[in-house]
Structure 1
Amino acid sequence: MELSISDDKTKELLTEVMIELLRTKRDLIRDILLEALEEVGLANAIAEGRKNEFVSEDEVLSIIATM
């Protein structure tokens, strides 16, 4: 016996799961997003340093701290 569900039902179920995750795991999601933003900031600082003069570790950390 094979079980199948429609694309609309799948989308509805996934939406419900995402909403539930946002409600119950808010702190975890916030931490994940913050970590991702810090990584982007670090990547941008590294890229900027490669185009111009060397960027010191202190400068990179101060940029990240302001995010």
Structure 2
Amino acid sequence: LKDVVKNAVLEVFEERRDWLADLLSEALLDIGLGYAIQEGERTPTVDRDEVFKTLEAGS
């Protein structure tokens, strides 16, 4: 059964490489988001007005 499933998965990915590319892309984005969340949890918080002042100054 293991070989049958393995062959079926390989066949799907060979025929639909775009699915594999999308899957890997989404996985990398999720990993990046996880790192960003962890980084945000380690940094000091700022209030909403300070964020918008900084954004407006940059535009």
Q: Count residues in correspondence.
A: 46
Structure 2: tracts of 5 or more residues without a match:
46-50, 52-59
Give the deviation of 1:53 after TM superposition: 3.4
Structure 1: segments with no counterpart, 5+ residues: 1-9, 57-67
Aligned-partner Cα distance in 2 for 1:15–1:39 = 25
Structure 1 length-normalised TM: 0.58
Higher relative contact order (CA 8 A, sep 6+): 1
Correspondent of 2:27 among 25, 28, 36:
36
Structure with more of its chain in helix, by fraction: 2
TM-score, normalised to structure 2, is: 0.65
Structure 1 runs of 4+ aligned residues shifted over 4 Å read none
CA RMSD in angstroms, aligned pairs only: 1.7
